[in-house]
Amino acid sequence: MATTTRRADAQRNIAAILTAAAECLSRNPAASTSEIAKAAGVGRVTLYGHFPSRAELVDAVFVQAIATGEETLGQVDLTGEPRAALARLIESSWQLVDQFRSLLIAAEEALPPGRVRELHADPMARVERLLERGRSEGAFRTDLPTSWLVSIMHNVMHGAASDILAGRISSADAAPYITATLLAAYTPPGERVPD
């Protein structure tokens, strides 16, 4: 019984820490573990018991954000004309990147190089499938590898998140800019860029 209670306490603490970390890192990508422990209503020793380093905590929060995002992206209609489907996917993806942009910066700072991208495996696989279909239907260029086209989307979107944090563009402008840029970048050579 005591073990069950301790396990329930631990799960409650982990949930509280993850929720508090998501909130704190969304306000400030440099939020400290002390700040997060305080917001979660737990001691620092408890926090470090569950997440031995700030990086492990940021990683866990990011994994959770990606999982939340996947639920949203799974509902996007990817059927029909590939360019229109891509525009819908970009719009939804961007809303997520925008919502989590402070957390994204925190993750890029705290996690080893490549880890942020590794955690995007599922959303990137979805983009890849749509690009492959669009390529086979002649809507997207085939002179560059699909994996490169997926990288471009990742880099342009995440670059836009930095542009917003630095005050270079507004959050409202970003979605149309990203869509216009990627639809042009994916147009087959010799074809017209969509208006």
State the residues that interact with a second copy by CB under 8 A: 29, 105, 108-109, 113-114, 117, 141, 143-145, 147-148, 151-152, 154-156, 158-160, 162-163, 165-166, 168-169, 177, 180-182, 184-195
Closer to a second copy by CB, 80 or 113: give it: 113
Record the tokens describing residue 95, joined without a space.
């809303």
Q: Which is nearer to a second copy, 17 or 161 (CB)?
A: 161
Contact, 127 vs 89, CB < 8 A? Answer: yes
Contact 21, 61 (CB under 8 A): yes
- In whole angstroms, how close is the CB of 113 to a second copy at the nearest point? 6
Cβ 154 to a second copy, closest distance in Å?
Answer: 7
Residue corresponding to tokens 């620092």: 44
Compare residues 162 and 171 and give the one whose CB is closer to a second copy: 162
Question: Looking at beta carbons only, is 49 or 91 nearer to a second copy?
Answer: 91
Give the separation between CA 157 and CA 174, rounded to whole angstroms.
9
CB atoms within 10 A of CB 19: 15
| Residue 13 · residue 32 · CB < 8 Å | no
Q: Which lies closer to a second copy via its Cβ, residue 22 or residue 160?
A: 160
Q: Least Å distance between CB 162 and a second copy?
A: 7
CB of 188 to a second copy, least distance (A): 7
What is the CB neighbour count within 10 angstroms for residue 141? 18
Q: How far is the CB of 11 from a second copy (least distance, A)?
A: 34
Nearer to a second copy, 17 or 164 (CB): 164
How many Cα atoms within 13 Å fall on the side-chain side of residue 63? 9
DSSP 44-60: HHHHHHH-SSHHHHHHH
CB of 149 to a second copy, least distance (A): 8
Length of the chain as a residue count = 195
